Chain A
Amino acid sequence: MARTISYREAINEALAQEMARDESVIVMGEDNAGGMGSPGEMDAWGGVLGVTKGLYHQFPGRVLDTPISESAFIGAAVGAATRGLRPVAELMFIDFMGVCFDQIFNQAAKFRYMFGGKAVTPVVVRTMYGAGLRAAAQHSQALYPVFTHIPGLKVVVPSSPYEAKGLLIQSIRDDDPVIFCEHKLMYDTTGEVPEESYTIPFGEANLVREGGDVTIVAIGRMVSVAMEAAGELAASGVEAEVIDPRTTSPLDTETILESVESTGRLVVVDEATPRCNLATDISATVAQEAFGSLRAPIQMVTAPHTPVPFADSLEDFYMPDAQKVANAAKAVTGWER
């Protein structure tokens, strides 16, 4: 039965249900259990923002605390995946992937290809991305485009509790390495989620809102920003179609192209910095595949090409918001040659 739970609870439930279903699923990461030697339920912190809380006691021996050494424990997770486990490793902040990038892009991503399809690496790396938590430049980036760039990785950016649970279960059951990117501002957002297990296939965009005037493609937390903008636009007579790709690799270009073919206008909203991000990628695809349908230049709403600022006012200004999205949509719907 569907009930309303948070994004954090949806992720926790997906982990618990998959651990109960399949004993090869393990969870590992910094403070995922509760810290070395910490006794009792009270101390089971469950990761820096409490996402894995409670699992340690439910699944004794299968929730592992790791040293603060991403290169070691991400490597261990990748290795364990090649030997038959299905590890879900928590890489606290996506910003820290620099210290374990060899394990991800040159090992996990390559095994299936280099061993002629004989090796599978069913590892999931859960990681937090995004600005807004006043966590400064080294803990606030939206780096999912970096993973999207690499063949052999699947990249998931869930936009709601429903998406988070179904996509995480799919990630765990998938035989390829998956980078699962959770926006840190979304953990307390709530939505309807079925109690039962379910999966959402990769590479299938969600049509969040139908509209005929402009297509807005938005990634992760930007989906709710785009929906807020769509509400404002509707009040001024512009009906936006909002598309959530849900996974950036594989990417459902078919749904995006179909939409642009009917609206003739595209706005892409991406919290990542603007060079070589999803906005440029999707815009290039549309320009190449649906040029004849476009009735206005494509607009990209992204962060600026700078580190995430620490000053509150600057950080707020840094992130795309509904006003910027609505302005971009009005620019394309009002555009004349």
Chain B
Amino acid sequence: MADARIARVTMPKWGLSMTAGKITEWLVEEGDEVQEGAELAEIDTDKIVGTLEAPAAGVVRRIIAGTDSSAPVGATIAVLAPAEVPDTDVDQVVAEAEEQLASGEVEEPAGPVVATVEVDGRVISYATMGEGDEVVVLVHGYGGDKNSWLFVQEPLSRTRTVHAIDLPGHGESAKDVGDGSLDTLAATVLGFLDAVGAERAHLVGHSLGGAVVTAVAAAAPGRVSALTLVSPAGFGAVDASYLRGFAEAGSRRELRPHLGKLFADESLVNRQLVDDLLRYKRLDGVETALQTLLGTLLDGDEQAIDAATLLAAVEVPVVVVWGRVDRVLAPADASTLGRAELRLVDDAGHMAHMEQPHAVVDAVEATGRKG
């Protein structure tokens, strides 16, 4: 048996379709001492580049998969251990890992499990990770889907049951959104809680999803233990041209410039991201759904949703996370957020959960502790 103090750093599974990742850069060197959660490496999943964090504290004893190499999900790519663990023990773990990597026989960790429930006559698709009494539900924004939480769902699931849902009109859920109102969407989230038997849940919402979960907490306070909002809709100013441009773009050429506005670092918008969104937009019913929801979001060039009033009625702990350079929904003034704690995140735009996922994970954990 290998020393329990030796921690394997494995290729993460970020998202349902990820089977392998490429290490684009190691941010640490062999011999460095790291804390748990320290940034170890940049990993390219084809869809987006993410930062891998240390699963435990220790010394980086060995880097097995070097910069620019690819490894299957689950493969050991580095080994951490306290300095006092002898080299021979580390070597043994490294040898096993190298053999696995060479043979390709790597056991892939269980990724999210996708299932569906029916809510108000609509099929709702969701992905679940982790087990635990604490239930967290992640609700994406306009035009997004459950996969947008790829960097957040896994770390949160270590001690919790984490569901990421597709709102009506999105992802793999039914494309009919009915009247598309905030009430309809909030009823869907409540219906989802009923369907999975969650009496109370910590709701996490991004953008439109942030307004939706705020509406759920206002309407059914007994069902919500805490709220974490990431760049929520319904506060302050909106770039209406982004929303309309996204809804109307019919080709890669038209879509790409709009997607650039989502991120602080526009280079995150790669071909795969654009292609995936285009594929989604071309499904039957999506155009109608997005147009209907546009009516929920916008009143002329202003936001039609007043989430501040809804939030004022919410008594559970609320933390709001906002990218400092959000160009779609500018960070709200703290005064409009009532008792909620506002955390501004550097180097993040509208997609803080993709660009700085640790900040969102930290916020969810902090909100949970307040509850």
Contact = CB atoms under 8 A, between A and B. Distances in A.
A198 B279 contact: yes
Contacts of A194: 279, 283
B175 interface: yes
Contacts of B284: 196-199
Interface in B265-317: 271, 279, 282-285
B101 to A, nearest CB: 20
A200 B271 contact: no
A201 B283 contact: no
B282 A199 contact: yes
Contacts of B271: 207, 210
Contacts of B5: none
8 contacts: A194-B279, A196-B284, A198-B279, A198-B283, A199-B282, A201-B251, A204-B251, A207-B252
Interface residues of A, number: 13
Secondary structure call for the A interface: loop
Interface string B110-150: 00001000000000010000000000000000000000000
B128 to A, nearest CB: 15
B270 to A, nearest CB: 9
A1 interface: yes
Interface of A: 1, 162, 166, 194, 196-201, 204, 207, 210
Contacts of A200: 282
A21 to B, nearest CB: 8
B117 to A, nearest CB: 14
Given A194-B279, A194-B283, A196-B283, A201 B175 contact: no
Contacts of B33: none
Nearest to B174: A196
Contacts of B279: 162, 194, 198
B175 A196 contact: yes
Question: Lowest 9 CB-CB distances: which A-B pairs, in order?
Answer: A197-B284, A198-B282, A1-B172, A198-B283, A196-B283, A199-B282, A210-B271, A204-B251, A196-B284
A301 B168 CA distance: 47
Contact of B283 (A197, A204, A210): A197
A166 B125 contact: no
B245 interface: no
Nearest to B125: A1
Interface in B157-174: 172
